[in-house]
Amino acid sequence: MKLNEGFLNSMHDAMTLLRTRGVAEATEAIQRALRGDIGTPNNSARRENGPVSADFAPANVSETAARGAREDCIDVEDRGYFGTHAYANAAGRRQYRLYVPAGAVGEPLPLLVMLHGCTQDADDFAAGTQMNALADRHRFLVAYPVQPPQANPSKCWNWFKPDDQQRDRGEPSLIAGITREIISTHSVDPTRVYVAGMSAGGAMAAIMIAEYPELYAAAGVHSGLPAGCAHDLPSALAAMKGGKRPRGARHTPENERLSPKRPVIVFHGDADATVNIANATRLLHGFAARPDDPSEGHRIYQGRRACTVCRLHSADSIDAELWTIHGAGHAWAGGNAGGSYTDPAGPDASAEMLRFFLDHPRRG
C-alpha cells in the first residue's frame, strides 16, 4: 500500500515537473519511480529539502496561533525554492506558494504577490507568467495565494462580494496576512512590496492596492476590473460586460474622483470577450496623460501584437500605465503556453510589470 501511494505521488510530482520545468525533469522523476526510488509520499521532487508537513490550522484559530500552521513543502524551481505554506485568521485559511531565488540570505529583496484567475492555481499561474524565472534573474520573492474551490467553485477570488472588498475583512485580510507573514519571516524590503493579478485576481489586486496602500507600493492589473464595481454576482457579470456601476456598489462617484494613492499598471486586450476593455479605463479613473510626454498614446509592437501604451499620472503625481493590446483576448500577454489563459503572441506583461514595479518603490 505504501509503495502504491508513493508511486502515485511520484507520478503526481512528475506531472507537476512536466508543467513547470520540462520533459527532461519529468522523465527523470518517472524513471526514479520505476526504479523504486520513491522515498516518502509527496516528496520525490523535494527529497533534499527537508521534511514535509501536511498539517493546517483550522479556520477558527487565532491569527497568532495560525502563524505556526504554515506548511514547509518545498520544490526546486529553476535555481531557487518553491515552497507551499498556509496562513489562517478569523476569515479562514489559504494556502500559498512562495518562490525564493537561490542565495537569498540576509539581502532585503522585493516581494511580488501574484493573484491567479478563475480555474487556475499557483502552479498554473507561475508556469503561465514565468514570474519565477524573472525572480531568479532580478532577485525578488514571488508569492501565489491560492483560492480553493471551497471558497468559490471556479476558484475565483470573490472580488464582487462586499465582505471580500474591504480592509481587514474576508479575502483581503487573508491576502494581506499572507503578505505580512512573508515580510516577517523572510528578508523583504518593505518599500518594495507589490501585488498583481489576472482577471478575478486582477480585480482583487485592485482591491488590495485601494485598501492597503501602506502595504503595497504598486499594483498590476491584467484583464481585471476596478475595486467596488459590483456587489453580487449579477452586478459582477454586468461589470464584466462593460456596464455602468450598478446601484448598491460599494464605491460612489465621489470616491472615484479621489486621486489614486499608489502607482498602477494595467494590461487589457481590446478583443477580450470575458472582461470588457471599458474596465481598463475605469481602473485608471483620476489619471490623465502627461502633457509633456511625446510618447503618450504611442503605438508599438512587442511580439506579434500591436499595443497602444499610455503613460499617465494623477493630480498627486502618481504614475500609471495603460497597455491596450490590439486583437488580444482574455489572456496573460506574452505568457508561456505551459499555463492556462496565456497569449504568447502579446507583449511581455510580466517583464513590463516588473520594470514598472521596480521603478516605483513605496514613498511616503
**Which pLDDT value is given to residue 42?**
37
pLDDT in tens, 328-339: 999 999 999 999
In terms of domains, do 127 and 41 share one?
no
Look at residues 295, 300, 333 and name the one whose alpha carbon lies nearest to residue 311: 295
How many angstroms separate the CA atoms of 216 and 197, rounded?
13
In terms of domains, do 67 and 168 share one?
yes
CATH code of the domain covering residue 174: 3.40.50.1820
pLDDT in tens, 239-277: 999 876 555 444 444 344 334 689 999 999 999 999 999
Q: In which residue ranges of the chain is pLDDT below 50? A: 1-5, 38-72, 248-259
In terms of domains, do 219 and 153 share one?
yes
How far is CA 91 from its chain centroid? 20
In terms of domains, do 204 and 332 share one?
yes
pLDDT in tens, 214-226: 999 999 999 999 9
State the catalytic residue, choosing from 10, 44, 173, 199: 199
In terms of domains, do 155 and 38 share one?
no
Q: Is 199 a catalytic residue?
A: yes
| Residue 36 maps to a domain | yes
| Number of domain units in the chain | 2
In terms of domains, do 226 and 336 share one?
yes
**Which pLDDT value is given to residue 56?**
26
The answer to whether the beta carbons of residues 74 and 89 sit under 8 Å apart is no
How many angstroms separate the CA atoms of 60 and 235, rounded?
31
Read off the pTM: 0.77
**Which pLDDT value is given to residue 15?**
59
**Which pLDDT value is given to residue 46?**
32
**Which pLDDT value is given to residue 302?**
75
| Residue 363 maps to a domain | no
* CA 117, 120, 121, 125 torsion-angle sign: negative
In terms of domains, do 29 and 67 share one?
no
| Residue 51 maps to a domain | no
Tell me 358's DSSP state.
H
In terms of domains, do 332 and 234 share one?
yes
Find the domain containing 160 and state its range: 57-358
Strand pairing class (319-325; 141-145): unpaired
